Amino acid sequence: MYRRRVKISREAVIFLSLAVFIFIVLRFLALVEHNIRPTVLAYARAKADVLATEAVNNAIREKTAGALDYRDFIIVNKDNRGRIVLAQVNNMKVNSFMSETTLCVKDALLALGREKIRIPLGQVFGSLIFANTGPKIPVTLTPVGYVGTRIIDEFEEAGINQVRHKIYLEISSDIQVVIPFISDVTTVSVTVPLVDAIYPGEVPDTVINLEFPSGPKIPAENFDS
């Protein structure tokens, strides 16, 4: 029986080989992207946390400029023998401070969102030699949700018959991390020490049980204002 030979042109062989090569390359790139995507996102979240924390700290440092005093937050009442009998939160000054600080933090995060961050692919793979090589992955940080502030404090022993009172400002905000074709939201929480004072002698419960007012929350839609 006679079998007819099918002759394939050279152009067809080249085209078929090229198509197979492109298919293999695309499949390989898709596999690599699928495997490294969680790593890229985790690295971007960590980068966002560092940059947002730095922005918040700088904003608070510029706002306070070392001019804070313990008496700006706490009003201490003493008896005629100089013993502390009562401590009260200065609500008016505390509320004013937190409102102004929240606005400063909002501006700092807005400025952060206007900058494009680019992460070299070598850093994603954790390579020390090629840390700054490879294509750079663009990352955008956008504030979402609220910027919230609150005052927290703690008492601790500070020597014989002495108590130290520390006051902190806690700021939290949600930051959306956007990389090509994927996004995630990470919460940035920063605690900054503000002031402290030493209470000599016995400290009454009326001093220890202080209640600070809640700070303001700025919604995301106000970020563009």
Cβ contacts of 63 within 8 Å, gap of 6 or more: 100, 101, 104
The model scores a pTM over 0.95:
no
Residue 99 in domain:
yes
Tens-digit pLDDT profile for residues 21-60: 787 777 755 655 665 677 777 777 887 888 888 888 887 7
Q: Give the Cα-Cα-Cα angle 171, 87, 209 (nearest 5 degrees).
A: 65
List phi, psi (to 5°) of 113: -70, -20
Task: Count structural domains, the chain.
Answer: 1
pLDDT at 93: 87
Start-end of H helices in the chain: 10-64, 91-113, 121-124, 205-208
Integer angstrom CA distances of residue 57 from 6, 9, 45, 101, 117: 75, 69, 18, 11, 19
Check whether 173 has a pLDDT greater than 50.
Answer: yes
CB 130 within 8 A of CB 136: no
Residue 151 in domain:
yes
CB 171 within 8 A of CB 152: no
Residue 188 in domain:
yes
Task: Work out the widest C-alpha separation in the chain, in whole angstroms.
Answer: 125
CA 17 to chain centre: 49
Tens-digit pLDDT profile for residues 185-194: 888 888 888 8
Residue 29 in domain:
no
pLDDT at 223: 44
Range of the structural domain that residue 94 is part of: 37-222
Q: Higher-confidence residue: 195 or 3? A: 195
Closest to 211 (Cα-Cα) out of 156, 162, 166, 151: 151
Tokens representing residue 201 in the block: 């002698």
